[in-house]
Structure 1
Amino acid sequence: MKQNEFINSMMVMLGAVLWGTIGTAQHFAPEGATPMSIGAVRLALGGGVLLLYAFLRGKLKGRDIFSRKSTYIGAASMASFQLTFFAAVLLTGVAMGTVVAIGSAPIFAGLISFAVNRENPGRKWLISTLVSVFGCILLVVGGDELSVNVYGILLALGAGLSYATYTASTKNLLDEFSPEAVTGIVFTMGAIITSPFLLIYSLDWLLTARGIAVALHLGLITTAFAYVIFSYGLSGTKLHKAVTLTLAEPVTAALLGVFLLKESLSTLSGVGMGLVFAGLLILSITRPKEKRA
């Protein structure tokens, strides 16, 4: 039981690690690739691939999933996350937008878990979340100047709430349906919601080899593959724990920035990275129960 719980936790973290490559991929995107267009393309390509994968695996049988409120809440939440997060980044900058959105998501997840599922997250989750969130703050803001914008902060909080809501609704669906069906249908519906942005912003950057490579990485690796892995892990992990484990995302982004983009890592950011690792370690390791005589 504990071994399966550990494996599920590692799958959730693997999904978060893959999401951590998004910023690096955007760095290599051609000029003219706006955050909104990149987000819409990512969701459209990823959703299409997930739906095709679910169809080929024979997981789209029946229409019961379309009668669940969680399906539509999940799709709307994923679309909302794309819009609020990228808008927050535009107003506040990458540092502030990221730290508020990612750092607030575990808090919202804990509140949703307690209010909806009546689950008490427990002392270990609280300690690990506080340590990881504080580490995330130090990691993201350690080397950057912050730009405070009230509307941007509210949008970033909306992004954190959207992501926590998506995770909660997805977990409810995973109790009845396969991860392939849930991700395929939810992401496709989310892509339909964000599809108008494909018409508003220029997609000329997709006509270049580098643009195609970036789109494929974002759609196939950071969306299709990452969310399937994440959903498999989420099916056997508590909501509040799963969202806290996704704080591995900013750590991955920071490491790629240092080793691939040759960015400098300040001492404060290094301490923050260590705190995030410590928090995730506290949450991932479970103490084996003593055998009764």
Structure 2
Amino acid sequence: MAGRGRAVVAVVVAALLWGTTGTAASFLPPSVGPLATGAATMGIGGLLLFATAPRASLAVRSLPGARRWVLIGAIGVGVYPLAFYSGMQLAGVAIGNVVALGTGPIVAAVLERMVDRHPLSPRWGIATVAAIGGMSALVLGRPAGEGGDAVLPGVLLAVLAGVAYGVYTYASGRVIAAGAESRGAVGAIFGGGAVLLLPVLLVTGAPLLSTPQSIGIAVYLALGPMFLAYLLIGAALRALRSSTVTTVALLEPVVAAVLAVTVVGERLEPLAWLGVLAILGGIVVLVTARPPVRGTRAPLDFEP
């Protein structure tokens, strides 16, 4: 995939797919726990990404410095779904999604600044402040009394998921920057994460096979929000920095919040809907930035 515009579209489509995860998981039987859901989604999806990626192992064996980032990214992939689905179960679909996906851009940007010494543009700062303000409004806009004492642990788990998300997105960009094809890099990282998740699935996943509905939901989560979405993200990382990808992906909690209200039945106050508008505004500010003159910088050095 070439070109910033198509890369942004790829991230938007991936975010739309991700936005359905919480709603889809809410229809699983109560016997299916969040660990089983997370392990199945990214464990099976990770295996598919690895199996279909051309020269995935080359990203590990033949590129200088890539092996370390594949390992770091794989750990992030292993942590993310377990924390993400557990956080959603405790804090709710809307808040769990918003906090997890909102933490990712901050982590990716900090890594870019600390490791790569990339300056962060004022436009990125404005977009991120708007998005974080919107996420805060979404959390504060939850009706009083809903969730009880489980909300805070759920938020903390969602933050952990966001850290893992930022780490594996950044690591994917590093492996691609080292010379790997995008599908090979993503396949290597998610294949490594699958190795960590499959034992969890073996221990906790039996209830997923209890009904045709649970099997169908698990298949959808593995193929749509996991397999297809991360193929799109890998392609987008060819033209966008990881901080840009994670910020554009803040469309996902907006979709998740809307579905949580209209389908799952969660309630959000007017303040929360103002937060949705702020997130959308931040994305518009970011994606309307003019890219640098072609040929002056490497693809992954596009300013957000």
Shorter-chain-normalised TM-score: which range? 0.7 to 0.9
Corresponding residue of 2:188: 185
Matched, 1:194 2:197: yes
Q: Report the alpha carbon displacement of residue 104 of structure 1 after superposing the two structures with TM.
A: 2.1
Q: Report the alpha carbon displacement of residue 281 of structure 1 after superposing the two structures with TM.
A: 0.2
Q: Which structure 2 residues correspond to residues 6-85 of structure 1 after superposition, within 5 A?
A: 6-54=5-53, 58-60=54-56, 62=58, 63-64=61-62, 68-85=67-84
Corresponding residue of 2:3: 4
Matched, 1:120 2:123: no
Question: In 2, Cα distance between the equivalents of 1:86 and 1:240?
Answer: 23
Question: In 2, Cα distance between the equivalents of 1:123 and 1:222?
Answer: 31
CA contact (8 A) 1:53 1:184 kept: yes
Q: Which structure 2 residues correspond to residues 97-176 of structure 1 after superposition, within 5 A?
A: 97-144=96-143, 145=146, 147=149, 153-175=155-177, 176=179
Q: Deviations over 1:179-200 (max 9, x none)?
A: 2212222112111112222233
Question: In 2, Cα distance between the equivalents of 1:82 and 1:177?
Answer: 25
Which amino acid is 1:59 matched to?
Answer: R
Corresponding residue of 2:233: 230
Question: In 2, Cα distance between the equivalents of 1:199 and 1:238?
Answer: 36
Provide the identity percentage: 31
CA contact (8 A) 1:96 1:148 kept: no
Moved more, 141-150 or 128-137: 141-150
Q: Deviations over 1:48-106 (max 9, x none)?
A: 2212222xxx4347432696211111101111222333444455555554443322222
Q: Which structure 2 residues correspond to residues 87-102 of structure 1 after superposition, within 5 A?
A: 87-89=86-88, 92=91, 94=93, 96-102=95-101
CA contact (8 A) 2:87 2:96 kept: yes
CA contact (8 A) 1:100 1:160 kept: yes
- CA 1:281/1:108 → structure 2, altered by over 3 Å: closer, same or farther? same
- CA 1:89/1:23 → structure 2, altered by over 3 Å: closer, same or farther? closer
Q: Report the alpha carbon displacement of residue 228 of structure 1 after superposing the two structures with TM.
A: 0.5
- CA 1:69/1:31 → structure 2, altered by over 3 Å: closer, same or farther? same
Corresponding residue of 2:281: 278
- CA 1:78/1:288 → structure 2, altered by over 3 Å: closer, same or farther? closer
How many residue pairs get aligned? The number is 285
Q: Report the alpha carbon displacement of residue 136 of structure 1 after superposing the two structures with TM.
A: 2.0
Which amino acid is 2:83 matched to?
Answer: T
Question: In 2, Cα distance between the equivalents of 1:194 and 1:27?
Answer: 21
Matched, 1:245 2:248: yes
CA contact (8 A) 1:124 1:283 kept: yes
Unaligned runs of 5+ in 1: none
CA contact (8 A) 2:37 2:85 kept: no
- CA 1:225/1:166 → structure 2, altered by over 3 Å: closer, same or farther? same
SS in 2 for 1:68: helix
SS in 2 for 1:77: helix
Q: Deviations over 1:121-145 (max 9, x none)?
A: 1111111101011112223442344
Question: In 2, Cα distance between the equivalents of 1:281 and 1:39?
Answer: 31
Question: In 1, Cα distance between the equivalents of 2:19 and 2:57?
Answer: 33
CA RMSD between the two structures: 2.7
CA contact (8 A) 2:102 2:162 kept: yes
Question: In 2, Cα distance between the equivalents of 1:242 and 1:15?
Answer: 10
Q: TM-score, normalised by structure 1?
A: 0.86
Corresponding residue of 1:211: 214
Question: In 1, Cα distance between the equivalents of 2:68 and 2:167?
Answer: 12
Q: TM-score, normalised by structure 2?
A: 0.84
Q: Deviations over 1:139-192 (max 9, x none)?
A: 344234464777655543332221111111100111211222122221121111
- CA 1:26/1:242 → structure 2, altered by over 3 Å: closer, same or farther? same
- CA 1:267/1:155 → structure 2, altered by over 3 Å: closer, same or farther? closer
Unaligned runs of 5+ in 2: 294-304
Q: Report the alpha carbon displacement of residue 205 of structure 1 after superposing the two structures with TM.
A: 2.9
